[in-house]
């Protein structure tokens, strides 16, 4: 199980915030699994969810090694390799719960964009997305933020036009905290995509909950907001 979310920030410097937990489960066993990955060209971040088996591991490695033309995939809105991965699992027959979807963030042509890659190969541009076993808690938190902001007279508070990168980082971090209510979720990972580069957050993997605020501050300090 997993919790992955993506938020687009368009107020001030544009960017995408990708965040996830680090908890993996196999039966009753728990492990640390990173769910955000960067490709070799460093122009795309993948947020993964769904079954994690050898087939998907091979698919993910090919993604990271630029074996697929991500720029063409987002332009056409079709991800044939992802469709093929899932169809092979289903023996080209009836879909079941052994499937994978992806979140994708890119900065082609210096324009940060966020996408959902659906199990049947469709690719859809989005402003905000979340998935996984803890997604209901993320949704509850974001809904509560909307209600609070509306009560204070701010219209469409979670519209990407009203969110700065710093605000998006805080929203994502707090939303993941809520998702930890889900027993299958835990830990925090984050990547920030701007028009110039992708900011990784390896220190977040090493921070305990008591040091998370310090790690978030480090991420914010890395970013060029101009």
The answer on pLDDT for 67 being more than 70 is yes
Q: Distance (Å, rounded) from C-alpha 208 to C-alpha 199?
A: 20
Q: How is residue 104 written in tokens?
A: 């994708």
Q: Which of 99, 142, 104 is nearest to 18 (CA)?
A: 104
* Tens digit of each residue's pLDDT (9 = 90 or more) over 111-128: 999 999 999 999 999 988
pLDDT of residue 33: 81
Q: How confident is the model at residue 58 (pLDDT cuts 50, 70, 90)?
A: very high
Residue bearing the bigger pLDDT, 39 or 210 = 39
pTM of the complete model: 0.81
Number of domains comprising the chain: 1
Q: Distance (Å, rounded) from C-alpha 175 to C-alpha 34?
A: 18
Please classify residue 164 by burial: count the beta carbons closer than 10 Å to its beta carbon, then call 0-12 exposed, 13-18 middle and 19+ buried.
middle
Q: By residue range, what is the domain housing residue 124?
A: 3-222
Q: How confident is the model at residue 79 (pLDDT cuts 50, 70, 90)?
A: very high
Of 53-57, 69-73, 103-107, 220-224, the least confident:
220-224
Give the angle 26-60-76 at the CA atoms, nearest 5°. Answer: 130
The answer on pLDDT for 129 being more than 90 is no
* Tens digit of each residue's pLDDT (9 = 90 or more) over 135-188: 777 877 777 776 555 455 554 556 667 789 998 898 888 888 877 765 455 678
Please say whether the beta carbons of 199 and 223 come within 8 A.
yes
Look up the CATH number of the domain holding residue 66.
3.60.20.10
**Dihedral Cα 152, 153, 157, 162, nearest 10 deg:** -120
pLDDT of residue 208: 46
Q: What are the two backbone dihedrals, phi and then psi, of residue 47, each rounded to the nearest 5 degrees?
A: -105, 120
Of 27-31, 87-91, 106-110, the least confident:
27-31
Strands (E) located in the chain: 3-9, 15-20, 23-26, 29-32, 36-38, 44-50, 100-106, 113-117, 123-126, 128-132, 189-193, 198-199
């Amino acid at each position: 199980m997993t919790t992955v979310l993506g938020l687009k920030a368009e107020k001030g410097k544009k960017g995408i915030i990708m965040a996830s937990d680090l908890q993996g489960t196999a039966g009753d066993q728990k492990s640390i699994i990173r769910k955000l990955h960067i490709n070799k060209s460093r122009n795309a971040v993948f947020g993964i969810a769904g079954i994690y088996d050898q087939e998907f591991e091979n698919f993910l490695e090919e993604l990271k090694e630029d074996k697929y033309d991500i720029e063409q995939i987002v332009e056409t809105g079709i991800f044939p390799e992802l469709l093929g991965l899932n169809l092979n699992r289903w023996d080209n027959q009836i879909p079941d719960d052994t499937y994978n979807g992806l979140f994708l963030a890119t900065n082609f042509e210096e324009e940060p964009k966020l996408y959902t890659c659906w199990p049947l190969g469709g690719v859809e541009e989005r402003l905000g997305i979340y998935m996984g076993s803890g997604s209901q808690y993320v949704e509850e938190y974001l809904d509560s933020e909307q209600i609070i902001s509306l009560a204070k007279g701010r219209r469409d508070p979670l519209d990407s036009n009203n969110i700065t990168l710093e605000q998006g980082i805080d929203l994502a971090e707090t939303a993941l905290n809520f998702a930890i209510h889900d027993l299958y979720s835990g830990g925090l990972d984050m990547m920030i995509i701007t028009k110039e580069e992708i900011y990784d957050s390896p220190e977040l993997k090493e921070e305990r909950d008591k040091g998370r605020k310090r790690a978030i501050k480090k991420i914010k300090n890395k970013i060029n907001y101009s």
